[in-house]
Structures are given as structure tokens and as C-alpha cells.
A and B are shown apart, each in its own frame.
Chain A
Amino acid sequence: EAGVAQSPRYKIIEKRQSVAFWCNPISGHATLYWYQQILGQGPKLLIQFQNNGVVDDSQLPKDRFSAERLKGVDSTLKIQPAKLEDSAVYLCASSLVNWVSVYEQYFGPGTRLTVT
């Protein structure tokens, strides 16, 4: 079974530029997550989708970050404009979720963003 795919794997941009990340979850996984992992910290949830609807975006800095999952499959996360403190690994994860049971989250390899 194919895992969670992410691209690009690495990105270097200057501050105030924009950047977009792409994620394709495991086939059949209805729930998709974007996490930010700053060096030396654990992943922090930015946004969670159930199919193409947003379930939780309470920690997404909405003035500069946006995400969409238009057809309920793949997703994009955008940062515009980027700040130095956005340098991090952006992890996408997916899972089977229903409101009775919770399933394991499977993570993609991440996109390592460096803002200079």
C-alpha cells in the first residue's frame, strides 16, 4: 500500500515570498492533517480535514497560512508571505476516522522549509 506522498521534499525561500506544499493521503483515508514541526519540538497540528471540510484550524495562522482539500483527496498548504519563524518541517498525515473509533495517523516524509 502506498503511503502518504508529499512534495516538494525541500524548499528554500526568502522571507515575504510565498510557498505551497502538496499532500496526497493514503487511498481511502477520509481525514487529512497538516502539522508543523519546528526543530527540537514535537509536531503541532495546523489544520484537520474530514473529507473536504475543515474540522479544526484553531492553530492555523490564518493571516498568512491557508489550506484546501477541494475534492476530498489531496491537499495543499500555502504560506503567503513567509516569515523566518516559518522555517520548519511541514508534515502531512492521514487516517481512517469515524466518530466511534480513532485510527492510527500515518505521516508523510514531510517538506523541509527554510526561510532566509
Chain B
Amino acid sequence: RKEVEQDPGPFNVPEGATVAFNCTYSNSASQSFFWYRQDCRKEPKLLMSVYSSGNEDGRFTAQLNRASQYISLLIRDSKLSDSATYLCVVGRGATNKLIFGTGTLLAVQP
């Protein structure tokens, strides 16, 4: 079993749709949580950190449930430019080693 599990997709949604990605992690010692975005043939870039209280950045909302070891990302009013792979990432250990999920591919259709 992978330490960070995500639905690989693809998620094909029309412009303007709301889409939700889910992620689970198996190591209860994980201490930091992130969503990264990776465009095709590009490097990953931090989209947002995830906190237990939940956090929002414009059209993006991230939630963390430590009890269930579950992380989510909600994208409202999808844009064509949101098309990318979204990587769920957890950090653990003294060095905050990052463990990446396999990513979920989102394709926003016109």
C-alpha cells in the first residue's frame, strides 16, 4: 500500500464546474500537508499548504482531517488554466521529508 493514495483520474470537467480531489495517508506521524500542482512536462509547484482548520485561497479550498488521515482539495469555478496534475504531499520526520502521491489529472474542457 502506498503511503499517500490518490485517485489518478483523469477528471474531465466543463469550465465553471466544481471539482474535488481526495487523498489519504497511512503514516499517522505525518506532520505537514500540501497540495502541489504539476503542469505537463513541468516541475511541481506548491499550490497551498493544508491545515486542520482548513484554508482557502481564492477558488481553492483545502481541508485536513487528521483523525481520518484524509486531505481534500476543492476547486470552484474551474478554468481551462486549472488543467494539470494535482499532487497530494505529506511531510514527516525531523527533516520533514516529503512523500508525494501519484497525482490526480484534471482536464477542464471548454
Where the two chains meet, the residues of A that have a C-beta atom closer than 8 Å to any C-beta of B are: 40-45, 48, 50, 55-56, 91, 97, 99, 102, 104-105, 107-110
* Bound form: Cα–Cα A56–B99 in Å: 13
Interface secondary structure of B, over-half rule: strand
Is B97's CB within 8 Å of the partner chain A?
Answer: yes
Interface with A: B65-73, B76-84, B87-95, which one?
Answer: B87-95
Number of interface residues of B (CB under 8 A): 22
Closest to A58 in B: B97
Question: With contacts A104-B46, A109-B42 known, is A48 near B97, CB below 8 A?
Answer: yes
B91 contacts across to A, CB distance below 8 A: 102
Count the A-B residue pairs with Cβ separation under 8 angstroms: how many?
43
11 further A-B pairs in the complex, CB-CB below 8 A; given A91-B43, A105-B46? A41-B103, A42-B4, A43-B87, A43-B100, A45-B97, A45-B99, A48-B95, A56-B97, A99-B94, A107-B44, A108-B43
Closest to B44 in A: A107
Do B98 and A105 touch (CB < 8 A)? yes
* Bound form: Cα–Cα A91–B43 in Å: 8
Do A102 and B96 touch (CB < 8 A)? yes
Do B95 and A55 touch (CB < 8 A)? yes
Do B102 and A41 touch (CB < 8 A)? yes
Max chain B C-beta neighbours (<10 A), residue from A42, A97, A107, A110:
A42
Do A44 and B100 touch (CB < 8 A)? yes
Taking a contact as CB atoms closer than 8 A, the residue among A42, A91, A104, A105 that contacts B103 in the complex is A42
Do B101 and A42 touch (CB < 8 A)? yes
A42 contacts across to B, CB distance below 8 A: 4, 87, 89, 100-103
A116 vs chain B, min Cβ distance (A):
20
* Bound form: Cα–Cα A99–B93 in Å: 11
A110 contacts across to B, CB distance below 8 A: 43
* Bound form: Cα–Cα A45–B92 in Å: 13
* Bound form: Cα–Cα A108–B100 in Å: 17
A97 contacts across to B, CB distance below 8 A: 95-96
